[in-house]
């Protein structure tokens, strides 16, 4: 016989061997849990200190204050002994992720919509002035080029050892001027300087450490200056523009043309503007462009109409097919019923972008399987009208499984007594469906139809991976025939004017949000969801 030893009265009960979760909780409680918490908070504080330092160097005082207060409150929540803060330990992580991934992107998008942020206007005014001064440098007439080596003199000061590419004379350049070196003081071979008497040449990591100094290192030579162009070459350059800090203008040296701050984030003279510009507020100008600029307004209206048609067509077609299949497969006693239901779920189980890429190949007008099998010559993706039909059909193919599952569940939730009573009263199948089944079905499915419409209204993947928004429209260089508002916004952000126009795209995004919100609100009101919740 075997005897079991009874647990002592003071010993805690032992968790069953199979209960993994309680054992993990016990392992990370007590001293181990406290050490883990302190380590996580130490890492969080270290990141906060680094972020505060970066913000201080950029003079973002409000952000510094908010970050410091948030870090202090975080430490108090997780290290404080107050039991009243216990709920906050669970709320704070979710709040941080909500702010970081939802609230901040929304606020940033709104802020960008009221600026000129985009190609040529992504930096600050101070940085733009420096860039203009650098880009305005040009070689003067008979400008010289030099073979260069970076070195330290006997006092440890940074200097440039220079050899004229034409005369082969040797010089040492400092930020005070150019000084000739005696013959034989510099040894050069293979187009590079290998030695300079009295100077220590810099190589490898030492050269890398003075990179920032070299970017601003200028050896003055009359009106021009010798500037490094690489780690082994330098050229003589002179400015074509002069910045007058008191007047806040740039003056072209050759003809005296004055470029002034035009209030739009650039120095301009008439229609001529200096690049780069800088990010600045422009009020409602981006929204005004959508209304008044015909190059933006006309495509926007046509894209909006198609977006509405695409979303409505996809939802109605997929719901109709899904409901039909649900009614068909809801019959009792059908053979292979589970197999049929499983097959219909397959399009939903495959990643959507893979299905879209496969359909893109299947619908190719020359090499696609669809045209080859059925001996057709249909330009599924290359004719504007046919491509729109293709987008709706493929989107419906991806959405039918969803509405099939939803409708099947809703049908099974309808009491059989109601349909049986309608049948006794002499109602035919169509009358029962129209007057009993469909109204009860829409109570459950109606909100999901509205949600699906809002989803397809912004269904970027189905358009971008299938047609790329094409084929092109004749009256627009940006919007394609099948572009919906979200893909049109994407193209505005990367393909408008001189480059990216993130500000205009953000303005369109805000309009799309309000359109979607308004349509969803109307849809929910029509399905009486708010009254049902109340």
E strand or H helix at 63 = helix 61-79
Q: Which two tokens stand for residue 501?
A: 């126009």
Burial 323-346 (b: 16+ CB within 10 A, else e): bebbbebeeeeeeeeeeebeebee
Per-residue pLDDT tens digits for 234-250: 999 999 999 999 999 99
pLDDT value, residue 426: 83
**What pairing do the DSSP bridges indicate for beta strands 241-244 and 272-273?**
unpaired
Query: How many Å apart are CA 108 and CA 106, to the nearest integer?
Result: 5
Q: Sorting pLDDT into bands at 50, 70 and 90, what band is 1? A: very low
In contact, 152 and 207? CB cutoff 8 Å: no
**Dist CA 146 CA 166 (whole Å):** 8
Q: Which of 301, 281, 280, 302 has the alpha carbon at shortest distance from 291?
A: 301
CA distance 99 to 493: 24
Q: Is the pLDDT of residue 410 over 70?
A: yes
pLDDT value at 494 more than 70: yes
Burial class of residue 146 in the structure, from the number of CB atoms within 10 Å of its CB (0-12 exposed, 13-18 middle, 19+ buried)? buried
Indicate if the pLDDT at residue 529 is higher than 60.
Answer: no
Sign of torsion, CA 230 236 240 241? positive
Burial 87-122 (b: 16+ CB within 10 A, else e): ebeeebeeeeeeeeeeeeeeeebeebbbbbbbbbbb
pLDDT digits (tens, 9 = 90+) for 64-95: 999 999 999 888 888 887 788 888 888 888 88
Closest among 389, 356, 522, 394 to 449, alpha carbons compared: 522
- Tens of pLDDT along 81-139? 778 888 888 888 888 889 889 999 999 999 999 999 998 999 999 999 999 998 999 99
Assign 11 a pLDDT band (cuts: 50, 70, 90): very low
Residue 227 pairs in a beta bridge with 235
Structure confidence by residue, pLDDT tens digits, 379-398: 999 999 999 999 999 999 99
pLDDT tier at 423, thresholds 50, 70, 90 = confident
- Report whether 182 contacts 190 (CB < 8 A): no
Strand partners, 259: 250
Task: Average the pLDDT over each of 241-250, 329-338, 393-402, 455-464 and give the range with the smallest value.
Answer: 329-338
Residue recorded with tokens 């928004």: 469
Which of 360-364, 492-496, 522-526 has the lowest average pLDDT? 492-496
Q: What is the mean pLDDT of residues 267-286?
A: 94
Encode pLDDT of 297-310 as tens digits: 888 899 999 999 99
Closest residue by Cα to residue 109 from 98, 117, 97: 117
Which residue, among 481, 445, 466, 488, has the nearest Cα to 393 in the 3D structure?
466
The pTM (predicted TM-score) of the whole model is 0.78
From residue 429, how far is each of 36, 319, 436 by CA, in Å?
Answer: 65, 19, 10
The model's pLDDT over 182-191, given as tens digits with 9 standing for 90+, comes to 988 999 888 8
What is the rounded average pLDDT of the residues 441-457? 90
Average pLDDT over residues 417-424: 86
Q: What is the pLDDT of residue 3?
A: 46
Residue 469 has pLDDT above 50, yes or no: yes
Average pLDDT over residues 311-326: 95
DSSP 252: E
Q: What is the pLDDT of residue 335?
A: 83
DSSP 451-485: HHHHHHHT-HHHHHTTTTT-SBPTT-SS-BTT--H
Contact 326, 408 (CB under 8 A): yes
């Amino acid at each position: 016989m075997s005897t079991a030893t009874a647990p002592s009265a003071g010993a805690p009960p032992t968790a069953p061997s199979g209960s993994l979760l309680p054992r993990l909780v016990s392992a990370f409680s007590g001293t181990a849990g406290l050490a883990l918490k302190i380590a996580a908070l130490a890492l969080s504080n270290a990141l906060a200190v680094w972020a505060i330092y970066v913000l201080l160097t950029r003079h973002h005082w409000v952000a510094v204050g908010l970050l410091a207060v948030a870090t202090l409150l975080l430490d108090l929540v997780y290290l404080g002994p107050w039991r009243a803060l216990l709920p906050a330990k669970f709320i704070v992580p979710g709040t941080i992720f909500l702010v970081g991934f939802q609230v901040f992107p929304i606020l940033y998008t709104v802020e960008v919509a009221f600026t000129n942020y985009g190609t040529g206007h992504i930096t600050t005014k101070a940085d733009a002035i420096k860039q203009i001064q650098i880009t305005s440098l040009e070689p003067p007439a008979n400008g010289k080029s030099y073979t260069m080596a970076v070195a330290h003199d006997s006092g440890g000061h940074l200097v440039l050892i220079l050899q004229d590419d034409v005369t082969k004379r040797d010089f040492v350049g400092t930020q005070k001027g150019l000084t000739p070196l005696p013959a034989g003081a510099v040894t050069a071979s293979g187009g590079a300087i290998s030695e300079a008497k009295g100077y220590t040449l810099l190589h490898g990591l030492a050269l890398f450490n003075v990179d920032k100094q070299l970017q601003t290192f200028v050896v003055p030579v009359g009106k021009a200056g010798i500037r490094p162009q690489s780690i082994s070459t330098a050229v003589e350059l002179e400015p074509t523009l002069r910045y007058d800090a008191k007047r806040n203008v740039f003056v072209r040296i050759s003809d005296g043309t004055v470029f002034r701050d035009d209030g739009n984030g650039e120095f301009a003279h008439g229609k001529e503007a200096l690049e780069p510009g800088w990010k600045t507020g422009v009020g409602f100008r981006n929204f005004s462009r959508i209304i008044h600029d015909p190059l933006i307004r006309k495509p926007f209206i046509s894209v909006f109409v198609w977006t509405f048609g695409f979303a409505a067509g996809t939802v109605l077609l997929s719901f109709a097919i899904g409901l039909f299949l649900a009614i068909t497969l809801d019959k009792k006693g059908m053979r292979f019923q589970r197999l049929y239901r499983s097959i219909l779920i397959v399009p939903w189980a495959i990643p959507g972008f893979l299905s879209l890429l496969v359909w893109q190949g299947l619908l190719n007008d020359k090499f696609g399987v669809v045209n080859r099998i059925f001996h057709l010559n249909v330009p599924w993706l290359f004719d504007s009208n046919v491509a729109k039909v293709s987008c709706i059909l493929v989107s419906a193919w991806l959405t039918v499984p969803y509405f099939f599952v939803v409708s099947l569940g809703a049908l099974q939730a309808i009491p059989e007594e109601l349909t049986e009573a309608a049948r006794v009263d002499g109602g035919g199948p169509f009358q029962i469906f129209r007057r009993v089944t469909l109204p009860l079905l829409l109570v459950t499915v109606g909100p999901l139809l509205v949600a699906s419409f809002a989803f397809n209204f912004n269904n970027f993947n189905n358009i971008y991976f299938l047609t790329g928004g094409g084929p092109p429209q004749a009256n627009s260089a940006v919007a394609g025939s099948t572009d919906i508002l979200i893909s049109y916004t994407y193209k505005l952000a990367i393909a408008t004017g001189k480059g990216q126009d993130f500000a205009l795209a953000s303005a369109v995004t805000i309009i799309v949000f309000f359109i979607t919100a308004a349509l969803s609100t109307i849809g929910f009101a029509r399905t009486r969801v708010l009254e049902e919740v109340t």
